[in-house]
Amino acid sequence: MLSGVDAALLMFCEPWLAREPRLLLACQFAPLGIDRGRFLATQVLVRELAQTAIAVSDRRVAQAKLAWWIEEAAFWAQGHPRHPLAHGLDARQSAPSLAQLLACATAWLSAAQPDSVATVMTQLQALAKPTANLAGARLDGWIAVWLAVSIRASLHAQTPLAGVVPMDLLARHGVRRSAWLQLDAGLRLPLLQGLASSLPQVDGDVAGAALAASVKLERRWLKQIRLDDRVGVIDVLSAWRAARRARSD
């Protein structure tokens, strides 16, 4: 499915790569070896944490998962990681950024429903900063990734955990907070599209070919949020152009 990465890392990440062809395509633009492994591991970590904070079955389960990860960060600091994602990252070097990211994710899970789009973006910026440190990349690109990943998790979330849909946006659409979880994915689309439109235009200013391709692909999806994850010819060409532009900068 994807060459040039550690076998144990790939085995863990394969379900995500199978579900998200955009992620698989973006990984192709990362150099083989350490750089590709680091990019893949960081992308999948974002998805694992977003899924935990937004869409697991129960708040206690989410808290337990994050508590395990916090313990794992301590193992990374000691040079004894247990999680397969460590095969794509330098565990000791990454431990402080991982711990910071987990603190942000824990605060996100505990926070009240955001009151505005500005609050959502502040939360995503907080998550993106340690993520960028893990990946060795610029902040702006990871804000876009966090937004897209969080919206995909929100499409089907059935539990009132971390939210990315702000209260003012719900009010503008005439949706009560208590009614959000009763909406099917199709009815959630207009609200999530409104949130997506608030993202700053960063796709032309992202360093790193793989991240530039990922941001371009995610922004294309965010412009017309769909329930499927198909990747078309235009997506492929757009990702290639973004990666080529990043390489030439």
Between 93 and 207, the higher pLDDT residue: 93
Provide the pLDDT for residue 69: 97
pLDDT of residue 203 exceeding 50, the answer is: no
Q: Is the pLDDT of residue 225 over 90?
A: no
Mean pLDDT of the chain: 89
Q: What is the pLDDT of residue 58?
A: 83
Helical H segments across the chain, by residue range: 7-19, 21-27, 34-55, 59-77, 91-110, 117-135, 139-155, 167-172, 185-196, 209-223, 233-248
Q: What are phi and psi of 30, to 5 degrees?
A: -90, 140
pTM of the predicted structure, to 2 decimals:
0.93
Kindly list the structural domains of the chain, giving each domain's residue range(s) and its CATH number in brackets, ordered by start. 7-248 (1.10.600.10)
pLDDT digits (tens, 9 = 90+) for 25-68: 999 999 999 999 999 999 999 999 999 988 887 889 999 999 99
- Go through the chain and tell me how many residues it has: 249
Over the stretch 143-187, which tens digit does the pLDDT of each residue have?
A: 989 999 999 998 888 776 667 888 888 888 888 887 888 888 888
